[in-house]
Every structure is written in structure tokens, then in C-alpha cells.
Amino acid sequence: MSWYWDMYQTIKQSGIKSDYQYKVLETTPILHSPDVLETMYQNASHEQKASIMLHIDNFNDITFNLDRYVNLRNKIWDDYT
């Protein structure tokens, strides 16, 4: 188990972030909760934030009038502009 801990510490210190969970967002048929997306946003790189925004846009018919999704999408949009 020591090798796993060493690898974890190396990755954590280097700032490398996994793209897997963000790539899944782009194609998933399930809308994630605003709490999950907010947590992902706080830990996301610039490119990963785009995946969150795309996920929200994929469910635009549902999220269009829901304030928490709209606010998160606007935060991401402000990061880009």
C-alpha cells in the first residue's frame, strides 16, 4: 500500500487533476446535482470547468429556470470572459 500513498502524494503535490470525471460529464445521460457540480467546479482546472458548463447546457431544458444551475453556469462563463 505504500506505493499507492507515494503515488497519491506525488500527484497531489504536482497539481495534476484527473480529467475522467469531467469527460464523463460531457456524455452522461444523468443530470448531476448542483451540489456535486459546485464541488467539481471548485476543484476544476480551466478546461474542466468547460465540461461542467457543457453538462449543464446538455440539460438546458431542465436547468434553464433552476437558479443553482444558472448561477453555476454564469460563474463558469465569467471565468472565461
* Under 8 Å between Cβ of 60 and 76: no
pLDDT in tens, 34-55: 999 999 999 888 889 999 999 9
As a residue count, the chain comes to: 81
Assess if residue 25 is contained within a domain: yes
Assess if residue 69 is contained within a domain: yes
User: How high is the mean pLDDT of the chain?
Assistant: 83
pTM confidence score: 0.73
Q: How many domains does the chain have?
A: 1
Assess if residue 50 is contained within a domain: yes
Domain membership of residue 55 as a residue range: 16-80
Assess if residue 5 is contained within a domain: no
Going by C-alpha positions, the residue among 49, 44, 55 that lies closest to residue 81 is 49
